[in-house]
Structure 1
Amino acid sequence: MTVDLEVDVETGLAYGPSGKLLDVYRPVSAAVPPPAVLLWHGIGPDERDVLAPLARAAAALGAVVFVPDWRPDAEDRGRTHLLESLAYVRERAALHGADPERTVLAGWSTGATSAVGAALDPDAVGGRRPTAVVGIAGRFDIPDRFGGAAALEQLAAGAAPAVPVHLVHGSTDPVVPAQHSRDLAAAARERELPVTLAESPADHAGVIMTAFDPAVNRCVAASDEAVIGAGRRTAEILVRAAG
């Protein structure tokens, strides 16, 4: 993997008609345009800050990472926000120094459910396919935010991901047990579909380089070296997914 690069962060950019904001993490001295990574957060509304440690780590390894706020509690369950963030990256990745031909769609927790859903039904997200999808600590037995059936149901019905799917999960996750990713990987492998699964000795927060702080009721940047190591492995997978 690449030696860590210096990272520039641009915060609070409006990305669509809804007025939601995103942050962009960009390596300063990349020799060639790096891949773009669109990274969706989980069930907490407007929690792009939760993914800041992972986004910074992935940018240091050589990716331009876009992290939008979105609201899973919106009337349409966040569908509009997710689609607007996708459109922003498709249209403006190059303006932020990224290679628009190498784009990874990724999500954590609830975000992972919809990222994998987009791989199974690209028409639901405008038809344009990313290079790969990365699902981090997701559930795949529930519907995504685009109106699609659960990923496991779609696979059982004969659907196939349009691009490679890379799954990442903490083996000690008590919130979304790792069995969810194992089940999806097994279902895809049974049909010889392009999927990988990497497990880290981490919990739901640790796999993204954070720890849950009950005092603020959200995940915050971790200081434990083992947790940082687990999150760095996730960052490496995000960058490698772009090929």
Structure 2
Amino acid sequence: MTERFEYGDGPMRYAVLHPAEDAVGTVVLIHGGFWRGAPELFDGPTPLAEALVARGRHVWQIEYRQLPNGGGYPQTLDDVAAAIELLGAVAADRGLDLGPVVTVGHSAGGHLAVWALSRPDAVLPLAGAVSLAGALNLRLGDEEGIGSGAVTDFLGGTAAQHPDRYAAADPIARIDPSRPVRIVHGDRDDVVPMNQSDTYVAAAREAGQDAAVAVVEGDHMVVIDPAHPAFDALTAALEQIRAAA
């Protein structure tokens, strides 16, 4: 049975548990939107959550504060970390076997999914992360103005103005070689450029991380469509991470 849990005050700080029967693992599912959103709208990819449950994975679908509604740096990062840690407490309380826990995020959620591998003071271990057309190189995103300046807005300024914030929030600056990262990205994505994925994979491999990108046909949204071949790429990535866990 689906359940909703609060991890803090306010309308944007909650998570929804979608349990699966005979689960082989758990997905922490993080929606996108360039770190911008309203508290009355939960715009997570619910069809994707349902498809993952049908494939035998618990799904922990999280909401978090976004701009201009209390989000930004560091609040959004703090919320994602808190939501992930709440999953561990809920599982312990209910005797739920999580199996390998993998973060999966779309667009800005892809950034948060990969960033979460290096979140400070982590308790619940993560087996890896899957980015679905995520923003994984924030300095480059700042330079190129992706999302009409979304990176700059999220971090409250440019990389030159706030190098400490970029160092703390940028996945490409916080690569953890001990856990794999998989990426699925559409070849016609005009929202998050392919160079966000390509530059991350190049840096990750140089740092010794098991990282790879699967390029699929389509735009920015096909990667969250369970009816698109991108979903097979996602499930294959999850199986690769589970095998390595």
TM-score normalised by the shorter chain: which range applies? 0.7 to 0.9
Segments of 4+ in structure 1 off by > 6 A? 143-146
How far apart are residue 230 of structure 1 and its match?
2.3
Partner Cα separation in structure 2 for residue 17 and residue 160 of structure 1: 28
Would you say 1:171 and 2:187 are equivalent positions? yes
Aligned length: 209
How far apart are residue 48 of structure 1 and its match?
4.3
Q: How does 1:51-130 map to 2 (within 5 A)?
A: 51-73=45-67, 74-75=70-71, 76-93=74-91, 98-119=96-117, 121-122=118-119, 124-130=120-126
**Structure 1: which 5+ runs fail to align?**
1-8, 211-224
Paired residues of 1:118 and 1:125 also in contact (CA < 8 A): no
CA deviation digits over 1:29-79, x for unaligned, max 9? x2xx43111111113425644311111111111100111111222244423
**Cα distance change of structure 1 residues 204 and 95 upon mapping to structure 2, 3 Å threshold:** farther
Whose strand fraction is larger, Structure 1's or Structure 2's? 1
Give the counterpart of 1:15 among 6, 17, 25: 6
Paired residues of 1:171 and 1:177 also in contact (CA < 8 A): no
TM-score, normalisation: structure 1: 0.73
Give the counterpart of 2:31 among 41, 56, 65: 41
TM-score, normalisation: structure 2: 0.72
Structure 2 SS opposite 1:241: helix
Would you say 1:137 and 2:133 are equivalent positions? yes
How far apart are residue 125 of structure 1 and its match?
4.8
Paired residues of 1:63 and 1:239 also in contact (CA < 8 A): no
Structure 2 SS opposite 1:192: coil
CA deviation digits over 1:81-100, x for unaligned, max 9? 21221111111235667533
Question: Root-mean-square deviation (CA), in Å?
Answer: 2.8
Structure 2 SS opposite 1:172: coil
**Structure 2: which 5+ runs fail to align?**
140-150, 156-164
How far apart are residue 127 of structure 1 and its match?
4.9
Whose helix fraction is larger, Structure 1's or Structure 2's? 2
Aligned to 1:24: 17
Q: Structure 1 vs Structure 2: percent identity of aligned residues? A: 25
